[in-house]
Amino acid sequence: MKRALEEAHRSLWHAPPNPAVGCVLLPTAGAPILGHTQPPGHRHAEADALARARELGVATAGATVFVTLEPCSHFGRTPPCADALVEARVARVVVAVQDPNPLVAGRGIERLRAAGIQVEVGLLDREAREINIGFFSRMVRGVPWVRMKIAASLDGRTALDNGRSQWITGAAARADGHAWRARAGAVLTGIGTVLEDDPRLDVREVETPRQPLRVIVDSRLETPPGARILQSPGSVLIYAAQDDVVRRAALEARGAEVALCPGPSGKVDLSAMLRDLARRGINELHVEAGHKLNGSLLREGLVDEFLIYLAPKLLGLGREMLRFGPLQSLDEAVGLRFLEVQPVGEDLRIRARPPGRERF
Ligand SMILES: NC(=O)C1=CN([C@@H]2O[C@H](COP(=O)(O)OP(=O)(O)OC[C@H]3O[C@@H](n4cnc5c(N)ncnc54)[C@H](OP(=O)(O)O)[C@@H]3O)[C@@H](O)[C@H]2O)C=CC1
Ligand SMILES: Nc1c(N[C@@H]2O[C@H](COP(=O)(O)O)[C@@H](O)[C@H]2O)[nH]c(=O)[nH]c1=O
């Protein structure tokens, strides 16, 4: 199953909105055959391993199959993998975790058992959920997994007082940040960052088979039609709270989609926005915003994970990571749990989760 998880990992960048799944087929004789999810519309992991077995002329009857997610039982863009395993006459299927999609959960396992195949469920289920944490979040909660990336100095500053922030972290940390952008379905920022940094927010520092959707929270449609984000590759979606026919037309003429998502006090309803992003198939949402939008997302309890790069430098007065508070008591502090602390180039990468989000 560990090999199957490694295979699943290879699909992380091209699988979305599908889950990244890995498969290892152990034939009764010969070497293991590996498979993983191909881009949407192409082979799932089990079908991939079975196709490889056919290409190699390896008999699949009696084989044991390890797969990181329950085989599908429904006709989507590809035929059901459970049927393919039945037709291949495999003897045993070990599934790491059941499909979280309430419409199909358990059906693939039932289909295999009904055909007389021995099925076991639960081996390395925690790791299997973790690799598809965004897909699980979308299926179970109806919102993407929100991962907030912050690049800061050791004293926690994300920009100088005058707004300048490029660059705080080094080249290796910035490239690492692009790898996290690449696996997300969408990258989200706020209008403050668009106006101050004129960012592109696309994936350039690492190779990628696709560009994530770029999303701007822009209550009053203030994104300049000449902004670089509208010129770089990939689609742009702007959430506004108020319509403005002229500004909307100018942004649409540049290829952006504008969605109205009004909330209280003339601002975008951030929870409704997340539900809408999930409906659009976004599993992981990568946030790269300034202290104001970061603070709003935290205050509304919408942040699932922090991806923080800390540079070994001090900036003194400047913008904080997230604007919230002031708290009255230390008991009110937002406690986090470190998942990982890792050097990246000359900087440190810290991944941390708030309580209740340690696992999914
Ligand atoms: N080092 C780093 O990792 C990063 C640093 N930065 C830096 O941050 C600075 C920009 O910060 P900031 O201005 O905070 O930028 P943001 O990206 O946070 O955008 C701020 C805007 O978001 C809006 N906003 C906040 N909450 C909501 C909500 N609930 N609904 C709708 N809109 C909301 C605010 O609107 P309103 O005004 O109406 O309240 C505000 O105008 C720049 O200097 C940039 O360089 C930016 C990104 C990453
Ligand atoms: N300053 C800063 C970051 N800033 C983030 O990168 C954005 C620019 O993206 P792009 O236009 O695609 O290069 C910027 O608006 C902000 O969100 N990132 C980092 O890894 N390290 C840094 O020091």
pLDDT at 358: 78
**Burial grade of 184 (CB within 10 A; 0-12, 13-18, 19 or more):** buried
3-state secondary structure (DSSP) of residue 344:
strand
Closest ligand to 241 CA? 1
pLDDT at position 359: 74
Distance between CA atoms of residues 131 and 87, nearest Å: 29
> What pLDDT score was predicted for residue 79?
81
Q: Is 318 in the pocket of ligand 1 (CB under 6 A)?
A: no
Ligand 1 pocket test: pick from 196, 197, 292, 294 the residue with the most ligand atoms within 8 Å of its Cβ: 292
Q: Tell me whether residue 156 is exposed, middle or buried, using C-beta atoms within 10 angstroms of its C-beta: 0 to 12, 13 to 18, 19 or more.
A: middle
- Residue 131 Cα to ligand 1 midpoint, Å, equals 30
Tell which atom from ligand 1 comes closest to the C-alpha of 150. 3
Kindly state the greatest CA–CA separation across the chain. 69
Active site residue 207: no
Closest ligand to Cα 269:
1
pLDDT at 90: 98
Q: Whose CA is nearest to atom 7 of ligand 2?
A: 199
Q: Which residues of the chain, if any, have pLDDT below 70?
A: none
Looking at residue 271, its pLDDT comes to 98
User: How is residue 264 written in tokens?
Assistant: 């209280």
- Please, what is the average pLDDT of the chain? 96
Query: How would DSSP label each residue in 307-334?
Result: EEEEES----SEE-SS-----SSGGGS-
As for ligand 2, residues whose beta carbon falls within 6 Å of it are: 151, 165-169, 173-174, 177, 193, 197, 199-201, 288, 309
pLDDT (0 to 100) of residue 290: 98
pLDDT for the residue 75: 79
Q: Which residue has the tokens 């003339």?
A: 266
Tell me which of 174, 196, 310, 348 to substitute to probe ligand 2's pocket, judged by most ligand atoms within 8 Å of the beta carbon. Answer: 174
Q: CA–CA separation, 304 vs 288, rounded Å?
A: 14
